[in-house]
Amino acid sequence: MSDVEIRLLGPGEGQFLQSVAEDVFDGPLRPPLAEQFLADPRHHLAVALHEGAVVGFASAVHYVHPDKAPELWVNEVGIAPPMRRKGIGRALLGCLSEHAVRLGCREAWVLADPDNTIACSFYQALGGAASPAVMYSFRL
């Protein structure tokens, strides 16, 4: 992984998203939405760069509560298939975690479909503990 740079993107750094390897994100990036995401101080995007292209990412949002310490919600992790199992996901989440600590977050959490055994094994290997919580979604 020595030839992969892990970088936390900030406002105005959308140029790093101009070259993205196949199957990293769910679909094609939309530059105006990417810039909006990067401009929001509570949105965080760590990327893995290899030979000038994004080969992995992890996105997160930190929440501020009126009655408890901020928390980091890891929204999504994506790695280009040829780059998987090289420690990139671990490095991306490490980058986000270090940033979250600087922001005062005391806990990070991520949702995973129980049928996604690869994701569940990955999060467990990082020390994550499964929660008995159930997620409900509402169409708006």
The answer, yes or no, to whether residue 70 has pLDDT greater than 90, is yes
The whole-angstrom separation of Cα 81 and Cα 54 is 12
Q: List, for residues 105-140, the tens digit of each pLDDT value.
A: 999 999 998 899 999 999 999 999 988 888 888 999
Kind plus residue range of the DSSP H or E element containing 118:
helix 117-125
Q: List, for residues 72-96, the tens digit of each pLDDT value.
A: 999 999 999 999 999 999 999 999 9
Tell which phi-psi region holds residue 95, choosing left (phi > 0), alpha (psi between -120 and 50) or beta: alpha
The whole-angstrom separation of Cα 96 and Cα 92 is 6
Q: List, for residues 27-67, the tens digit of each pLDDT value.
A: 999 999 999 999 999 999 999 999 999 999 999 999 999 99
Specify the pLDDT at position 2.
78
